[in-house]
Amino acid sequence: MNTTNEQPGILRTIEQEMDADMHPLLKKILEHIKSIGLGIGILIVGVALYAWFTSYQAEHKNRSVSQLGQVLIVNSPAERIAQLTAMLGSAPQSIQPAIHLELVSSCLELKDFAQAERSWQALAQLGLADIQDIAQLGAAKSLMLAGNYAEAAAILRTLKAGTSDEFVSLVANTLAFAEEQAGNTQAALAEYEAIKDKEPSSSPFVDYKITQLKSENIQ
């Protein structure tokens, strides 16, 4: 096999596929790759490509963060929502949580609770452990603001079963309220009683709700 004839073809391929703004190190390597030796040169190109791509990612992230900052100063919530939604397609994963949170904020400003709930759910689907439960709770609260208490209760029941100990009290209280508003008096009573059993020193409000709901069940 004639490696001498192969070299120009491979080099042309590399040169054609690289952007004109490639890292200066890559340009230098490609200029001297014949004297370096094709095998070693290609290996070095691979390493340099990785460094260039890492640099490109960092620059892309910085541009996206800058773009997000520009969107947030837009006065119109509807226009912010349109621009934030457009950003999601190309924004680095590292700033997508911030975009979803800003979408939630803008949707709540417009009282578009359905879109706020969808944005919370999209945030939860990113799979980030430290915000997943908060996102599910936010989705449930958006449904409650829209008057969809039964749907909110369904989310909260699932969330309560798998959430952390430090978060379960907040979820349980929210679930009890959602169940009551959905007309599920018995389920709401069971939730308040469970809160009382777990936290004997819970607020007088819990005692009041237990008494009230028991009275409603008797009637």
What is residue 128's predicted lDDT score, i.e. its pLDDT? 84
- Residue 98 counted as domain residue: no
Domain presence at residue 5 = yes
pLDDT at 87: 85
- Tell whether the model's pLDDT for residue 151 goes beyond 80: yes
Q: What are phi and psi of 61, to 5 degrees?
A: -65, -45
Q: How far from 85 is each of 65, 88, 137, CA to CA, in Å?
A: 14, 5, 22
Does residue 49 form part of some domain?
yes
Q: Tell me whether residue 15 is in a domain.
A: yes
pTM above 0.85, yes or no: no
Tens of pLDDT, residues 68-89: 767 666 678 898 899 889 888 8
Question: What is the total count of domains within the chain?
Answer: 1
Per-residue model confidence (pLDDT) at position 33: 47
Q: pLDDT tens digits, residue range 107-136?
A: 999 999 999 999 999 999 998 888 889 999
21: in domain = yes
- Amino acid 67: pLDDT: 65
Backbone φ and ψ of 128, nearest 5°: -85, 115
* Residue 35 belongs to a domain: yes
Give the domain extent around 48. 1-73
Q: What is the pLDDT of residues 6-16, one digit of tens each?
A: 444 444 444 44
Confidence of residue 187 (pLDDT cuts 50, 70, 90): very high
Q: Tell me the pLDDT tens digit for each residue of 24-67.
A: 544 554 454 444 444 444 444 444 444 444 444 455 455 656 66
The DSSP call for residue 94 is G
State the Cα angle at 78 between 76 and 82, rounded to 5°.
115
Distance of CA 165 to the CA centre of its chain: 23
Q: Determine the pLDDT at residue 46.
A: 44
Q: Higher pLDDT residue, 8 or 207?
A: 207
Distance (Å, rounded) from C-alpha 78 to C-alpha 4? 61
Which pLDDT belongs to residue 23?
47
CA distance 85 to 146: 22
- Does residue 153 belong to any structural domain of this protein? no
Alpha-carbon radius of gyration of the chain: 28
User: Rounded mean pLDDT of the chain?
Assistant: 77
> Quick check: is 55 in a domain?
yes
- Look at residue 127 in the predicted model and tell me its pLDDT: 85
